[in-house]
Amino acid sequence: MEIDARGIYYRDLNRKIRSAVEAGERRFVLRNVNGQRYIADGIDEKITMEIYGTPGQDMAAFMKGPEIIVHGNAQDGVGNTMDDGKIVINGMAGDIVGYGMRGGRIYIRGDVGYRVGIHMKAYKDKVPVIVIGGKAGDFLGEYMAGGIIVLLGMFGGDRNGRPPAGYFLGTGMHGGVIYIRGTVETHRLGKGLKPAELNEEERKELRIFLEDFCSTFELNINGILKEEFYRIAPNTHRPYGNMYAY
Amino acid sequence: MNWNYQKDISGCGLSGLINKNGDRVSGEVIVRSIATQHDRGNGLGGGFAAYGIYPDFKDHYALHIMCESRQAQADVEAFLKSAVYIVHQEKIPTRPNSRIVNVPLLNRYFVKPRPDGDVTVFDQGISEDDFIVRLVMKVNLDIGGAYVFSSGRNMGAFKGVGYPEDIADFYRLEEYEGYIWTAHNRFPTNTPGWWGGAHPFTILDWSIVHNGEISSYGINKRYLEMFGYHCTLLTDTEVVAYLLDLLIRKHHLPIELACMALAPPFWQEIDRMDDDQKKLCRAIRMVYGSALLNGPFAILFAFNGGLVGLNDRIKLRPLVAATRGDTVYMASEESAIREICPDPERVWAPKAGDPVIAKLNPAAVEMQPFSMPLKTGGKR
């Protein structure tokens, strides 16, 4: 199903998509999207959706299963509390990508904003993954409880001279792992975090995500692997357990 | 608990544009942009600032005044007669809009200070700009039910209670042409949604639209009072307009440093700077500690010479910028920019705490050169 979204109010657009999904439609192409909120929120069928334009806030929130490809930039709140599925963004994305995400994958070719992956969590085999081709703002992986964030710092826009990650990286982190390409200055990390080198098993795990990322965006993995990756993870399960104990 | 309760998830919406060559565009453009962000507001405030709209009176201060009663208007006009030359006065043109109600009396006066008149309320020998600032403060403070909501030259603010697209229709903004436009869609949180409390807030040609809340309002307000600025409009954002006037026009800080005073680097960042930078940042933080804005904010401020966007230091509100040709756009959401500029050359999310400064090219607009301090006719 192809929808020209120009000038359609977000509620009408989402109603149209929802009733088409209910009627059995599984492939969507949305054209001229501009700022409509909540696209594909809560949809729990295996649909595919290509979006041309700039989708609005909280795209794919609570989503469970769809594959969404954005040919352009996305705004804030992409994949908020997302449960399963895949989101591919060919441009950049705004703040709080993958907020409270608990499953599925989000691949962003370019830069992302602040607080990406905040409150991400994992349970058993449900491990959410965010791979960022560009650079990230402050508070990447803040309060992270599980899941995987990979930060390449390579394919972004004009953040020249800035390091791949901002300040307060992994602040309050107590689970999950962040892989960063290239060196990380310790003062940019949240309290108690230290970058570590990868062991063989971690290298293998990382390679799986990178291969998928590269095939998604038609990139060469060798160029990405030219530089060393570092791993940031909390030392213990409850690093802040004694914070308020006297 | 009512499980059917539907929360309107919103924050204020901002949009602004500047043509750096001073080419003017109709208000219709910015209205389309802010209307894209309709759902960021809740109908309790909308407003616009426009620059270059009064070329026929470009040397006069354009006072936009709202009055809650005929008595208030009579009081204001009696006061103005004693304090300024009025070259022209009229009702601000409006058209009826069913969604814009409880409208105050809206008039505008194009004025110059009147040094030969009854100026006993003011000190002798102050600059024209200072004269106008004091006049605005006096009206807002002393004349009940009357508020000056715009006081710059060749610019004007238009605001009220309603969605911005309805406010624009009400004020007939498509009939104005400006080289800078800013727009605001309000979702009031801590303060009342009333006509005076809509954004933009202005003093002289400074105008500000703001998304967020300024939790340092009390400190900022008391600091400003020491310099004769009085906050009367019941909204936190008002302090920013006066801070800009104080820091940039009065204290002659470059825009970059004024923005640093509002959103300074953290001490831990300063510790790692080189010595010169460290000295500068420490000085700004110490001298202007009371000008620091705490709390989440994305602001756009404009003046006759440019448009500036600024975020709080930890990016608690959205802001996107873009350029195409000589036009610079800034908005809460990228879609608000794409609505009026589908194919920007560059789109980026500004770094928190770093201002995006788009200045007018020198001499782009006749008689309104960018200069700091503003040149005035007053004796010092």
Q: What is the pTM of this model?
A: 0.94
Residues in contact with B162: Cβ distance below 8 Å, sequence separation at least 6, in sequence order: B43, B45, B46, B97, B99, B100, B170
Q: For residue A142, give the nearest of A212, A234, A14, A243 by alpha carbon.
A: A234
Would you call B77 an interface residue with chain A, using a CB distance cutoff of 8 Å? no
Edge-to-edge strands of the sheet including B13-19? B155-160, B46-51, B180-185, B13-19, B327-331, B320-324, B346-348
Would you call A223 an interface residue with chain B, using a CB distance cutoff of 8 Å? no
Q: Averaged over A113-142, what is the pLDDT?
A: 97
C-alpha torsion A236→A240→A243→A245, nearest 10: -60
| Cα gap B19→B25, rounded to integer Å | 9
Would you call B37 an interface residue with chain A, using a CB distance cutoff of 8 Å? yes
**Structure confidence at residue B364 (pLDDT):** 80
User: Between A37, A57, A95, which is nearest B315 by CB?
Assistant: A95
**Structure confidence at residue B380 (pLDDT):** 32
Q: CA of A199 to nearest chain B CA: how many angstroms apart?
A: 32
Residues of B whose CB is below 8 A from A62: none
Residue to test with chain A: of B315, B329, B332, B340, most A Cβ within 10 A:
B315
Contact check, Cβ <8 Å, A92/B349: yes
Would you call A90 an interface residue with chain B, using a CB distance cutoff of 8 Å? no
| Cα gap B277→A153, rounded to integer Å | 27
A150 vs B123, which has greater pLDDT?
A150
Each residue's pLDDT tens digit, A180-221: 999 888 999 998 898 999 999 999 999 999 999 999 999 999
Would you call A11 an interface residue with chain B, using a CB distance cutoff of 8 Å? no
Residue B193 above 50 pLDDT? yes
Residue B338 above 70 pLDDT? yes
Q: Residue B371's pLDDT band (boundaries 50, 70, 90)?
A: very low
ipTM, two decimals, is 0.95
| Cα gap A170→A149, rounded to integer Å | 10
Q: For residue B346, give the nearest of A235, A36, A111 by alpha carbon.
A: A111
Residue A119 above 60 pLDDT? yes
User: Between B268, B318, B336, which is nearest A35 by CB?
Assistant: B336
Each residue's pLDDT tens digit, B31-79: 999 999 999 999 999 999 999 999 999 999 999 999 999 999 999 999 9
Each residue's pLDDT tens digit, A17-67: 999 999 999 999 999 999 999 999 999 999 999 999 999 999 999 999 999
Average pLDDT, chain B: 91
Q: Residue B1's pLDDT band (boundaries 50, 70, 90)?
A: very low
Each residue's pLDDT tens digit, B109-137: 999 988 766 545 556 667 889 999 999 99
